[in-house]
Structure 1
Amino acid sequence: MTRPWFALLESNTTGTGRQFAAAARARGLRPVLLARDPARYPYVADDGLDSRTLDTADPAQVLAVCAGLARDGGLSGITSSSEYYVAAAARVATALGLPAPDAEAVARCRDKSHQRRALAAAGVAVPGFRAVTSVAQAVAAAADLGPPVVVKPVTGSGSAGVRLCADAGEVAEWAARLLGGDGGPTGPILVETAVRGPEFSVETFDGVVRAVVGKRLGPEPWFVEIGHDVPAPVPAAVRAELGETTRRALAALGLGWGAAHTELRLSAAGPVVIEVNPRLAGGMIPAAVRAATGLDLVDAVIARASGGAPRAAAPAAGHAAIRFQLLAAEGRVAAVRGRAQAVASPGVVAAHALTVPGAVVTRTHSFQDRLACVVAAGHDAAAAQRNAERAAPLFSIDIQAVQDGYEGGRGR
């Protein structure tokens, strides 16, 4: 009997996309990647994954390809591991009568200014904010809110384009960069009050809190996530408070179907929602949740989108930690070594290089600065953290400087 197709609309690039395909296979489905350029994802060739090349920004093309898959063996579902395509996948699923979240609620949620307004109207704490379309408006908004402020795109993920600005000069410089191009947005940007306090994420599925994660951030003025701890090493009462705030936020936004990844800061006055992402977490957080709790959130997403039953949680270590190796020098990647050593290190459950030989790496002050990742488990928080911190440096990533066409050797 021919196995039904399961469509993946584009992919993220940090591991979860590959796991989505593997989870679909494990459920007896035939995963197929729909992408503008399938070769952009090395795992497609490595894993022999079926793919279709199309303009994934064209809803009519996506719908037509999915309808064709439905005629050719049946289509059990469609989803995406990429934040940019979750709403589009939901619209196609709805059109074909397949399981899906509320596509319009997902689309609205991706606009952070709309999200802020909806949460504030529901009484959920959010930073003070202004959506602006000019440098002058950004400077005025920062003066009104009071420094320091965070200036960032209205849409996006992975800390891309997000910067803490201490004064009017920094606000003007960063707003000009975002509004003027340089790979940034061409529409509104956000200026918002900088909330002080530790940062967390709450991972939910069907509106139920599955894990509260402690985030580790790199140095300001940037917000690069350099590690995660599961569960967050705070009292249970604090985790409960973060979870309750998240549930209120999801209700206010009309979400609650499937996975959501909510980021919060714990201020002196209590939890403040930084943003709600209507998708599964990235950054290998699902692998850490699985190691700590036994719950496979990737499989849960595939099950929900294909109408299958979720699996029960497996035995687990109780604690897990993620640590990244960060970019130390710009240039061309000459070699990536050390994965075998990292995998063999005590407590490690996953280890991945996030770059490949030949890639040109530059400092972006975003998730793209992360070149390798390890997930480690432990019997307590300290053990998990120690295991991850021991293993992450075992990756050796050789980088050659590129200057005026000449490449000179530089190490990590």
Structure 2
Amino acid sequence: MARRALILVEGHQRGNGLRYVQAAQRLGLTPITLSADPAQYDYLAAEKLEAIRIDTDNLDELILECSRLRATYDIAGITGFAGDDESVYATVGKLCRHFDLPGPNPASIERCCDKFTQRQLLAEAGVPMPAYRLAANVLEVERSAAEIGPPVILKPAVGSGSCGVRLCRNIDEVTEHTTYLLGGKHIWRASPRILVEEFAQGPYYCAEIMGNEVIGISAAEFGRPPHFVFRACTFPAALTDDEHERIATVSLSCLRGLGLGWGPACIEFRRTKRGLVVIEVNPRLAGAPGPQLVELAYGVDLISEHVKLAIGEECNLRRKHLQTAAAQFLLPDRDGLLDCIDGGSRAAVVSGVSEVKFYVEPNTPIVRKGDYRDWIGHVIAASPDLAQTEAILQRAVDLIDLSITPFPAAGE
């Protein structure tokens, strides 16, 4: 009898990749990763996992490889990871359709991954959003920013992880960032198009969704502007029943407007002076450590439940307990050489801490990019209430030593 396998298209080094592998193994599946560069995922070699090098942008090659694997394995399901290229998840949907396996609607995923198309569809569905314009060159961006009125957000129309996203407080900053985006330094996943958006100011929330069910809502804080790099995240958010209901209701409107509703999604909001507005709909599971916070707080393992969906089994989203979980990210305050990152073992034994993870080693050059790649580690904690969880986190973070020596100035 052939072994049952779960095909994973690409992986995720800092995020959920290893957790998907472990979930598959717990369900009796053999995880097989298809990747353009398997070596970039350390856990594949460390766990001696099967990985196949293949062009994951080429659907025909993927179909041929999966067909070849079917001669040896019973392919129970196919899923994958967005990473910094969300088109991967649309490819997963196409593979699932080809092999008649459960999966997301690829057309809905593709529409959602284009932020301008997403905005248009949400507007048609009556979803509250910031004002927005699409632009392709400096003049169009400047005109759009003037029409909306600074401050504005500039972001690539296709992308993720806050890459290329910046707050521009005046027209000079608009011109400067547009020149950067179009000047060859930013890596475009599609033809260069820039979304210009009104800066929605207010508390940030994110609805964690599986299928058509809102599992819970997190709150998060960002590091210093003009970039949007998460500094801390808490689950569940401290909301009134009315606030929770409003976010859940708008979330379901987003799913209907975009043709989503299978598998995971996460929807980002800001609560502004004029009310709740949708910042972005992500047709995928939130990046790590989001799923860990949900599991710590509610006892719901979203990754395992997603794998169950992918292999045609019924998932169980019932809460098993109620705690408050939170993560604090370690962010560099300067560019330079990382002299020291230590104290992880001390922080890890603080009661209530569930994980301390460093992403980099000492002597690593640090060059901030203004997106998720700036994280150099995180600490996660959980307890019965928010104040206690925050105190645990602070106690643990205070035990971590972090030192960066600035690079020598030019000419030194």
Kindly tell me: are residues 152 and 299 of structure 1, through their superposed partners in 2, closer, same or farther at Cα, counting changes over 3 Å?
Answer: same
Q: Which residue of 2 aligns with 1:264?
A: 269
1:73 is aligned to 73
The equivalent of 2:253 in structure 1 is 248
* 2:13–2:42 contact (8 Å) kept in structure 1: no
In structure 2, C-alpha distance between the alignment counterparts of 1:129 and 1:196, rounded to whole Å:
15
Percentage of identical aligned residues: 33
Contact 1:229–1:385 under 8 Å retained in 2: no
Partner of 1:365: 370
In structure 2, the CA distance between the partners of 1:5 and 1:209, relative to structure 1 (3 Å rule), is same
- What per-residue deviation string (whole Å, max 9, x for no partner) do you get for residues 164-206 of structure 1? 1111111111111112220243511100111111111000101
Indicate if the aligned counterparts of 1:153 and 1:184 stay in contact, CA closer than 8 A. no
Report the alpha carbon displacement of residue 309 of structure 1 after superposing the two structures with TM: 2.7
User: Is the contact made by 1:317 and 1:377 (CA closer than 8 Å) also made in structure 2?
Assistant: no
CA distance 1:349–1:3, change in 2 (3 Å): farther
What secondary structure, in the 3-state scheme, does the structure 2 residue paired with 1:74 have?
A: strand
Alignment of 1:258-407 (within 5 A): 258-311=263-316, 313=318, 315-333=320-338, 336-356=341-361, 359-396=364-401
Letter aligned with residue 318 of structure 1: Q
Q: Shift of residue 381 of structure 1?
A: 1.1
**2:31 matched residue in structure 1:** 31
In the aligned structure 1, how far is the partner of 2:319 from the partner of 2:200? 37
In structure 1, C-alpha distance between the alignment counterparts of 2:267 and 2:245, rounded to whole Å: 14
Structure 1 counterpart of 2:146, one-letter code: A
Aligned partner letter, 1:316: H
The number of residues matched between the two structures is: 407
Are the aligned partners of 2:335 and 2:366 in contact in 1 as well (CA < 8 Å)?
yes
Give the whole-Å Cα distance in 2 for the aligned partners of 1:375 and 1:237. 28
Could you tell me which residue of structure 2 aligns to residue 209 of structure 1? Answer: 214
Distance 1:85 1:7 in 2: 13
The change in CA–CA distance for 1:329 and 1:221 in structure 2 (over 3 A counts) is: closer
Other-structure match for 1:40: 40
Q: SS in structure 1 opposite 2:257?
A: helix
Change (3 A) 1:325 1:105: same
Counterpart Cα distance in 1 of 2:138 and 2:186: 17
1:301-345 CA deviation, whole Å, 9 max, x = no partner? 111111123246464342111111112343455665433223211
Q: Unpaired segments of 5 or more residues in structure 1?
A: none
Mapped partners of 1:325, 1:67: distance in 2: 43
Q: 1:29 to 1:124 in 2, by over 3 A?
A: same
CA 1:102–1:358 in structure 2 vs 1: closer, same or farther (change >3 Å)? Answer: farther
**Is the deviation greater in 312-321 or in 168-177?**
312-321
Q: CA deviation at 1:73?
A: 1.6
Counterpart check, 1:127 vs 2:118: no
Q: Match of 1:212, as an amino acid?
A: I
Contact 1:203 1:212 in 2 (8 A): yes
**2:313 alignment partner, SS class:** coil
**Partner Cα distance (1:256, 1:144) in 2:** 35
Rounded Cα–Cα distance in structure 1 between residues aligned with 2:366 and 2:65: 34
Q: What's the offset of the Cα at 1:57?
A: 1.4
SS of residue paired to 2:234? strand
Give, in angstroms, the shift of residue 36 of structure 1: 1.1
Length-normalised TM-score, structure 1: 0.93
Taking the aligned partners of 2:334 and 2:224, their CA distance within structure 1 comes to 17
The 8 Å contact of residues 376 and 387 in structure 1, kept in 2 or not, is answered as: yes
For residues 105-138 of structure 1, what are the alpha-carbon distances to aligned partners after superposition, in whole Å with 9 as ceiling and x for unaligned? Answer: 0011000000000001111011111110000100
Give the secondary structure class of the aligned counterpart of 2:303: helix
C-alpha contact 1:108 1:115 (8 A) present in aligned 2: yes
TM-score by length of 2: 0.93
> What is the CA deviation profile of residues 53-87 of structure 1, one whole-angstrom value per residue up to 9, with x for unaligned ones?
11111111111111222221211111112234111
Residue identity matched to 2:117:
H
Distance 1:261 1:215, change over 3 A: same
The aligned counterpart of 2:144 is 141
CA–CA separation in structure 1 for the residues paired with 2:249 and 2:142: 35
User: Hey, what does 1:9 align to over in structure 2?
Assistant: 9
Give 1:199's aligned residue. 204
The offset of 1:361, in angstroms, is 2.8
Instruction: Using the TM superposition, give the Cα deviation of residue 351 of structure 1 relative to its aligned residue in structure 2, in angstroms.
Output: 2.3
Change in CA separation of 1:301 and 1:394 when aligned onto 2, cut-off 3 Å: farther
Q: What are the within-5 Å matches in structure 2 for residues 219-230 of structure 1?
A: 219-230=224-235
Distance, in Å, in 2 between the alignment partners of 1:3 and 1:339 is 39
Q: How many angstroms does 1:93 deviate by? A: 1.2
- Partner AA of 2:296 in structure 1: A
> Distance between the aligned counterparts of 2:161 and 2:37, measured in 1?
21
Equivalents in 2 of 1:84, 1:344: separation in Å?
Answer: 40
Distance 2:338 2:38 in 1: 22
Does the CA-based 8 Å contact 1:177-1:184 persist in structure 2? Answer: no
Classify 1:30/1:357 alpha carbon distance in 2 versus 1 (closer, same or farther; 3 Å). farther
Task: Determine the structure 1 residue equivalent to 2:178.
Answer: 175
> Using the alignment, how far apart are the partners of 1:244 and 1:225 within structure 2?
25
Q: Tell me, what secondary structure is at the counterpart of 2:3?
A: coil
Residues 87, 110 of structure 2: 8 Å contact kept:
no
Contact 1:76 1:306 in 2 (8 A): yes
Q: Is contact 2:151–2:169 with CA below 8 Å preserved after alignment?
A: yes
Quick one: which of 103, 114, 118 aligns to 1:115? Answer: 118
Matches of 1:364 and 1:312 in 2, distance apart?
Answer: 37
Specify the code of the residue in structure 1 equivalent to 2:20.
F
Q: SS of the residue aligned with 1:118?
A: helix
Shift of 1:398: 5.7
